[in-house]
């Protein structure tokens, strides 16, 4: 298996684990252990994103722009972002 395939597979697996951790937090009413697991899974996904950047697959500037775009959409379509 080449490096990029391995990177994509591990990233997909980590995203799946993050999805499960989010669900568990909700099911356990934000119990401390569940939130700790959530933090671990977020870190794992962020690590994989960093590796994607290191490998030149994605650019930091594109991520920053994407985050700004998402925040703008969330201001309109959700209650998560408040203010200007």
In tens digits, the chain (84 residues) has pLDDT values of: 999 999 999 999 999 999 999 999 999 999 999 999 999 999 999 999 999 999 999 999 999 999 999 999 999 999 999 876
User: Considering the entire predicted model, what is its pTM?
Assistant: 0.91
Distances (CA, A) of 79 to 1, 17, 31, 33, 82: 43, 26, 23, 27, 7
Both structure tokens of 22: 């989010």
Rounded to whole angstroms, how far apart are CA atoms 71 and 44? 23
Q: Per the structure block, which two tokens stand in for 75? A: 């201001």
CA atoms within a 13 Å half-sphere pointing along the CA-CB vector of 14: 18
Other beta carbons within 10 angstroms of residue 41's beta carbon come to: 20
């Amino acid at each position: 298996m080449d490096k990029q395939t391995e990177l994509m597979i591990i990233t997909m697996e980590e995203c799946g684990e993050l999805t499960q951790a989010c669900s568990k937090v909700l099911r356990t009413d934000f119990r401390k252990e569940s939130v700790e697991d959530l933090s671990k899974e977020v870190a794992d996904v962020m690590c994989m994103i960093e590796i994607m950047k290191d490998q030149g697959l994605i650019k930091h500037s594109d991520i920053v722009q994407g985050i700004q775009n998402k925040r703008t959409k969330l201001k309109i379509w959700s209650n998560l972002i408040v203010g200007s």
